[in-house]
Structure 1
Amino acid sequence: MSPDEPVQELSRDECRELLKRGELGRLATAAGGESDIFPVNYYSDGDRILIRTAPGTKLLELTVHSAVAFETDGYTDDEAWSVVVHGRARQLDSQAEVDEADQAPLRPWIPTLKYRYVHIDIDALSGRRFLRLPEPER
């Protein structure tokens, strides 16, 4: 990257690595003609995304329409990045799946009971890295 080209498309492998390093993202859903976005903490091994949630709007919307978008990002003093996932979300139902999910390093950030797991299969993955530079002269 250079000041002449301050935006760089990330490779799939770079996106996967950034997903693995992240902890906080936004889950976008759409159901009944309405769209919603929810901040969530998450775990990813780079091939899938796992979130924990409680019964409510988010879980209901995922049951109605499983197509979701997920975004996570980060920044330093010099650069920023964003990774966007499109995929299908489903609640883990079998005890074997829940037992496996319990082994992931995923704990709620707030002291609430979140005992439902949602798994997002990644269909499409894209990302960009940005240099954080002053605005150019007009």
Structure 2
Amino acid sequence: MSQDGATADAVIRLNDEECWEKAAGQELGRLVTRVGDVIDIFPVNYVVDGRSLLFRTAEGSKLFELTANDDVLFEIDDHTDDEAWSVVVRGTATRLATSAEVDAADELPLRPWIPTIKYNYVRIVPTELSGRAFRRLPEPDRYGVQTG
């Protein structure tokens, strides 16, 4: 197999169902927000709820930024010695507003990782989902010289 073929075989595009399966198996992701020229990234624990992501947050910069611009990215990944994967959710973040929504969210297995009170639930509804899995293979020879 050529080096180009080996490289092509090392990256696998995930379909939507595979992306959701990967996301549902994790608890920690990175939320990316943008307000004007300022881009921020926040690690947050989350849960998959249907075909959306849900996290909790306290009052502060994260919630303010989501109020100013609800377009977000959310990235989830993991790896082993043999493989790695990454899922990126592009979507809209909305704070849950009704008591019925909050009551339903309270039933989900979503608890703060640090001892802080986080009254606000935020749901990310995807507009686009993409994912890739990678086989972790040895680096090809960079100088074109084959050994052995």
Please state which band the TM-score falls in when normalised by the shorter chain. over 0.9
Structure 2 counterpart of 1:62: 66
Offset, 1:133: 1.6
Pairwise CA distance, 1:46 = 5.0
Normalising to structure 2: TM-score of the pair? 0.89
- The 2-side partners of 1:32 and 1:137 are apart by 43
Q: Provide structure 2 residue ranges, at least 5 long, that are not aligned to the other structure.
A: 143-148
Structure 2 Cα separation of the partners of residues 42 and 67 of structure 1: 17
- Aligned equivalents of 1:40, 1:69: Cα separation in 2: 12
Per-residue CA deviations over 1:9-68 (Å, capped at 9, x if unaligned) read 001110011111110000000012211000000000350000001000000000000000
Paired residue secondary structure (1:42): strand
Q: Which runs of 5+ in 1 are unaligned?
A: none
1:52 counterpart SS class: strand
Partner of 2:76: 72
1:123 corresponds to: 127
**Residue in 2 aligned with 1:137?**
141
CA RMSD of aligned residues (A): 1.1
Instruction: Please tell me whether residue 14 in structure 1 is matched to residue 18 in structure 2.
Output: yes
Displaced runs of 4 or more, over 6 A: none
Whether the 8 Å contact between 1:20 and 1:46 is mirrored in structure 2 is no
Secondary structure of the residue aligned to 1:44 is strand
Map of 2:103 onto structure 1: 99
Determine the structure 2 residue equivalent to 1:48.
52
SS of residue matched to 2:59: coil
Percentage of pairs with the same residue? 57
With normalisation by structure 1, the TM-score equals 0.95
Please give the secondary structure, in 2, of the residue aligned with 1:106.
Answer: coil
- Tell me the SS of whatever aligns to 1:16: helix
- Of the two, which has the highest radius of gyration? 2
Cα distance in 2 for partners of 1:26, 1:109 equals 14
Q: How many residues align?
A: 136
